[in-house]
Amino acid sequence: MQLNETHDPGLRSWVPSANAQDADFPVQNLPFAAFRMKGEAAFRIGVAIGDAIVDLSHPGVAMLLEPQIAEACRASTLNDLMALGPAAWSRGRLNLSRALRAGNAQADRVGAALLPQAGAEYRLPARIGDYSDFYTSIFHASAVGRLMRPDQPLLPNYKWIPIAYHGRASSVCVSDSEISRPIGQIRVPGADAPAVAASQRLDYEVELGVFIGVGNVRGQPIPIRDAWKHVFGVVLLNDWSARDIQAWEYQPLGPFLSKSFATTVSPWAVTAEALLPFRGPWLRAADDPQPLPYLQDLAERSSGALDIVLEASIQTAAMRAKKLAPVRLSRTSSRHAYWTIAQMVTHHTSNGCNLRTGDLLGTGTQSGPTPGEAGSLLELTVGGREPLAVSSGESRTFLEDGDEVCLRGVCEREGFARIGLGTAIGRVLPVHAPQ
């Protein structure tokens, strides 16, 4: 994968909104989603351009694409396109880029396939086979570790092995899906026995989600030099977490119901190719151990990290009533991750485990080195001990009913067009049923 004409910062689109300074979806981005217009039954595949969607099932667009790619784009999720592999993705992206550039002679034909994002609704970009969640931020791992083990915040394995757990695929949902507060077994500190109650320590986690394009055969690991070829694209991911349920259930097999009630992802999968200009050297201190050989690669060392600026904001019910804008909770970059996306892919398959098209890998909470860069309330409020002021008169330790959490991701680099990931939004509703 290398920079090509689609990355040219001078490109402009004949779709005016794509040329705005703060557009998430300029012609250099071209992310993919599964969408339908409100009131429609069936979902289609589209590409975002400015505030519009190019309907890839439209005959006027399909004829611009290679037949195999056009056929894959007539599906209702991205799985078929994902399965075609990086060369096909790149060729299709080039065709779409050319068709959407200012001055393109086919603008009229493609224009007939444009739909407004404002009238669209989304489903998950792909049918997700398995969802695995990593723990790539050393700052998050250390902060959580300090709360639980002040004497040994970082476990001895952290700098050697990309820690991860299997997540729950069934409850991954797209932005704007309802998030009911979970109930579960909770043992209040000092109590003899647990009780069943609504979670009082409901949290969000700012993550990236990585969609696997082409999988691997069981028993055939993916070498790190090939790992990026298996990555279709990236979304925002909010790994909602019930800290009180987690504290009681997680020994000895890890988090289960504290995570599996819901995981929210943004609808637009930003392709690995579009993100290419925003890669840089991986994080590793001089006295850290070098990654073991299977996680080592010269190219990856110099360009494995991905600089996506990630923001979380909150709008409470009271703020909505007063028409107050959401306020930012934190801002960091995924470049602070200790383990890269390629290392996640390679480690995951190193035992022979097979990834499949549409599988989702989470990066784990992305936190940076300073306090304002923490990607969860658990960290921002020091385990709930230091409430955070969120607006006039309100503060939070953990999430309350009515709170809406919005994640955003943006890539900016001198000499390149700004690339946005859109938003992943979820509003906390009361518990799902009377107890």
Question: What residue has token string 């096909």?
Answer: 88
What is the nearest approach in angstroms of its own copies to the Cβ of residue 327? Answer: 28
In the β-sheet with 32-37, what is the strand arrangement from edge to edge?
114-116, 52-55, 44-49, 32-37, 120-123
- Choice among 140, 230, 336, 348 that is catalytic: 140
What is the nearest approach in angstroms of its own copies to the Cβ of residue 185? Answer: 5
Rounded-to-integer distance, Cα 138 and Cα 254, Å: 18
57 versus 350: smaller Cβ distance to its own copies? 350
Rounded-to-integer distance, Cα 173 and Cα 53, Å: 21
56 versus 183: smaller Cβ distance to its own copies? 183
46 versus 215: smaller Cβ distance to its own copies? 215
Q: Give the 3-state secondary structure of residue 243.
A: helix
Rounded-to-integer distance, Cα 367 and Cα 337, Å: 8
279 versus 348: smaller Cβ distance to its own copies? 348
Residue 173 · residue 128 · CB < 8 Å? no
Beta bridge partners of 184: 197
What is the nearest approach in angstroms of its own copies to the Cβ of residue 246? Answer: 10
Q: Give the 3-state secondary structure of residue 54.
A: strand
Rounded-to-integer distance, Cα 386 and Cα 380, Å: 8
Q: Which two tokens stand for residue 353?
A: 């485990």
What is the nearest approach in angstroms of its own copies to the Cβ of residue 364? Answer: 9
92 versus 364: smaller Cβ distance to its own copies? 364
What is the nearest approach in angstroms of its own copies to the Cβ of residue 224? Answer: 13
The yes-or-no answer on residue 432 being catalytic is no
Rounded-to-integer distance, Cα 108 and Cα 119, Å: 21
Interface with its own copies by CB under 8 A: which residues?
129-130, 132, 135, 148, 155, 157, 160-161, 163-171, 173, 178, 180, 182-185, 187, 193-196, 215, 218-221, 242, 245, 248-258, 260-262, 289, 292-294, 347-348, 350-356, 359, 432-433
- Write out the H or E segment, with its range, that includes residue 313: strand 309-315
Cβ atoms within 10 A of the Cβ of 419, count?
Answer: 27
Catalytic residues: 140
